[in-house]
């Protein structure tokens, strides 16, 4: 089959690889019909490159049709499923507590990390990903999200990651009717988080340096700003001088405007893998401007909810301010399955209350994935969300 493979920092290519096969009775194989490209994939071709290996198959936002079903998968050939990006067993202590991204059956203990993730480096189990024609879905008996045929793929495919991640971020931010929230980063995660917070009744400020991302958010009733000190001052003014009740960071480790973290990331990119891993595991490689701005902006006693991925072991944090302002922080990989019952009715609602229909800017054949990655990374051609279509070629 054809698959998009990691070949080095900033380098992915479509290669012919072996078809996946059933390894456990709880597995299924799907023919992938849609597969999202995520901001997290950009981390894998840059900062987290030392944890990737040549030939690793990328992708953790897939959906498709079952073409082969393991005897204990509970699924049958022809079923249409969305696949969560985290692989969870559904019956360990963590899964029993709905902490699916910490599943103890699939945890990557040798790296000290949580549940295995599809297409996500040695840190998360080096599991082959879903930017491919076919995908082996481990623990499909629990993980698979069965969907009907009422809607096209683009309504459902984001149940794999974007929608539950944004939903968890907003739930952790704990805002509702009459509250205020600022969302840093209007990539796909921030777009959906902002719309969801609005759907829950909050007044939402969206912050991003990229004009077309602000424009997309503005179409959904979000009050938009570019990043920087002036925005912080203005938003404090608009919220009684205090700052919003919550701030959601949907930027992550590659924030623009962080010269020190940027220099360390660039330097780490030139080191051999083992040395670069050591730097990441012992130093602060994150670009922290969005997170530090979030802490600055949030009101005293408010909540900072971090959806963006961070990776440095000793990234400096303003603990005095965090303590003095009495800030609550929540963060983590999304526990995808926990939120599906909340989300499915919204996704299937013909009136599209979350605006899922207005997110994909580029749907391209798998063969064009390398150019699409570049367009997404460089924010060219108004690219906000790419979905790969392996059926189209």
Ligand X SMILES: NC(=O)c1ccc[n+]([C@@H]2O[C@H](COP(=O)([O-])OP(=O)(O)OC[C@H]3O[C@@H](n4cnc5c(N)ncnc54)[C@H](O)[C@@H]3O)[C@@H](O)[C@H]2O)c1
Footprint on this chain of ligand X (rule: CB under 6 A)? 38-40, 42-43, 161, 165, 184-190, 207-210, 213, 227, 250-252, 255-257, 289-290, 307-309, 333-334
Query: CB 259 → ligand X: shortest distance, Å?
Result: 12
Q: Quick one: 29 or 248, whose CB is closer to ligand X? A: 248
* CA dist list (Å): 99 to 26, 86, 196, 304, 347: 20, 11, 22, 20, 23
Partner touching 249 among ligand X, Zn ion, none, CB below 5 to 8 Å by kind: none
Least spacing, CB of residue 371 vs ligand X, in Å: 17
* C-beta of 130 vs 187, nearer to ligand X: 187
Least distance from Zn ion to the Cβ atom of residue 269, Å: 22
Q: Going by C-beta distance under 8 Å and a sequence separation of 6 or more, which residues neighbour residue 137?
A: 27, 28, 29, 30, 81, 83, 143, 144
**In this chain, which of 29, 32, 45, 89 binds Zn ion, going by CB under 5 A?**
89
Which option in ligand X, Zn ion, none does residue 208 bind, with CB closer than 5 to 8 A by kind? Answer: ligand X
User: In whole angstroms, what is the distance from residue 95 CA to residue 73 CA?
Assistant: 18
Binding string, 25-64, against Zn ion, x = CB under 5 A? Answer: -------------x-x------------------------
Here the tokens at position 16 are: 């012919």
Residue 17's φ and ψ, nearest 5 degrees, are -130, 170
**How many residues are there in the chain?**
393
Q: CB of residue 351 vs Zn ion: minimum separation in angstroms? A: 26
| Beta strands across the sheet bearing 303-306 | 223-225, 203-207, 180-184, 246-249, 303-306, 328-331
The least distance separating ligand X from the CB of residue 42, rounded to whole angstroms, comes to 6
The whole-angstrom separation of Cα 389 and Cα 367 is 9
Closest approach of ligand X to the CB of residue 25, in Å:
28
Kindly tell me which residue out of 44, 45, 49, 92 binds Zn ion, with binding defined by CB under 5 A: 92
7: helix, coil or strand? Answer: strand
* 30 vs 297 by CB, closer to Zn ion: 30
225 or 339: CB nearest Zn ion: 339
C-beta of 61 vs 179, nearer to Zn ion: 61
Residue 125 touches which member of ligand X, Zn ion, none, C-beta under 5-8 Å by kind: none
Residue 95 binds Zn ion, judged by CB under 5 A: yes
| Planar angle of CA 343, 153, 193, nearest 5 degrees | 40
Kindly indicate which of the ranges 25-33, 160-168, 198-206, 376-384 contains the residues binding Zn ion, using the contact rule CB under 5 A: 160-168
Using alpha carbons, list the distances in angstroms from residue 67 to 91, 128, 192, 235: 26, 17, 31, 51
Residue 210 contacts which entry, ligand X, Zn ion, none (Cβ below 5-8 A, type-dependent): ligand X
Q: Where are the alpha helices (DSSP H) in the chain?
A: 39-44, 93-96, 140-143, 153-156, 162-173, 188-199, 211-218, 229-238, 259-269, 273-282, 289-297, 319-324, 340-348, 369-378
The total of other beta-carbon atoms located within 10 Å of residue 259's CB is 9
Q: Which does 95 bind (CB under 5 to 8 A by kind): Zn ion, ligand X, none?
A: Zn ion
- Residue number of the CB atom closest to Zn ion: 38
Please report which helix (H) or strand (E) contains residue 31, including its range: strand 28-37
Which residue number, 18 or 110, has a Cβ lying nearer to Zn ion? Answer: 110
How many Å from the N-terminal Cα to the C-terminal Cα in the chain? 11
Contact partner at residue 303 from ligand X, Zn ion, none, CB < 5 to 8 Å by partner kind: none
- Kindly state the smallest distance separating residue 76's Cβ from ligand X, in Å: 30
Residues of the shown chain interacting with Zn ion in the complex, contacts defined by CB under 5 A: 38, 40, 88-89, 92, 95, 103, 105, 161
């Amino acid at each position: 089959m054809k698959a998009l493979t990691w070949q080095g920092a900033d380098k992915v290519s479509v290669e012919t690889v072996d078809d996946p096969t059933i390894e456990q009775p709880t597995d299924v194989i799907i023919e992938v019909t849609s597969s999202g490209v995520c901001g997290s994939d950009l981390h894998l071709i840059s900062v987290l490159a030392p944890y990737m290996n040549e030939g690793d198959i990328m992708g953790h936002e897939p959906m498709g049709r079952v073409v082969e079903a393991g005897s204990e998968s509970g699924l049958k050939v022809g079923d249409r499923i969305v696949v969560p990006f985290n692989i969870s067993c559904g019956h360990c202590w963590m899964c029993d507590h709905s902490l699916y991204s910490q599943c103890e059956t699939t945890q990557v203990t040798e790296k000290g990390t949580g549940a295995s993730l599809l297409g996500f480096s040695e840190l998360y189990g080096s599991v082959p990903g879903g930017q491919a024609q076919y995908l082996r879905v481990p623990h499909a008996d629990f993980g698979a999200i069965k969907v009907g045929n009422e809607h096209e793929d683009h309504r459902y495919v984001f149940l794999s990651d974007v929608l539950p991640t944004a939903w968890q971020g907003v739930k952790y931010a704990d805002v509702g009717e009459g509250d205020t929230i600022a969302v840093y980063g209007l990539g796909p995660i921030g777009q959906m988080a902002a719309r969801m917070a609005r759907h829950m009744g909050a007044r939402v400020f969206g912050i991003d340096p990229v004009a077309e991302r602000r424009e997309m958010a503005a179409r959904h009733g979000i009050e938009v700003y570019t990043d920087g000190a002036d925005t912080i001052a203005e938003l404090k003014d608009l919220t009684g001088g205090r700052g919003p009740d919550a701030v959601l960071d949907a930027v992550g480790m590659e924030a623009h405007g962080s010269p020190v973290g940027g220099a360390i990331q660039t330097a780490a990119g030139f080191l051999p893998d083992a040395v670069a891993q050591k730097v990441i595991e012992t130093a602060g490689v994150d670009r922290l401007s969005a997170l530090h701005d979030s802490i600055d902006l949030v009101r005293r006693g408010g909540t900072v909810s971090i959806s963006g991925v961070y990776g440095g072991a000793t990234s400096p944090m303003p603990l005095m301010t965090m303590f003095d302002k009495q800030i609550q922080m929540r963060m983590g990989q999304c526990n995808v399955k926990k939120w599906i019952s909340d989300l499915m009715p919204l996704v299937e609602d013909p009136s599209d209350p979350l605006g899922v229909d207005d997110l994909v800017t580029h749907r391209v054949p798998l063969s064009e994935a390398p150019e699409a990655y570049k367009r997404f990374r460089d924010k060219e051609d108004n690219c906000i969300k790419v979905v790969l279509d392996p059926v189209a070629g």
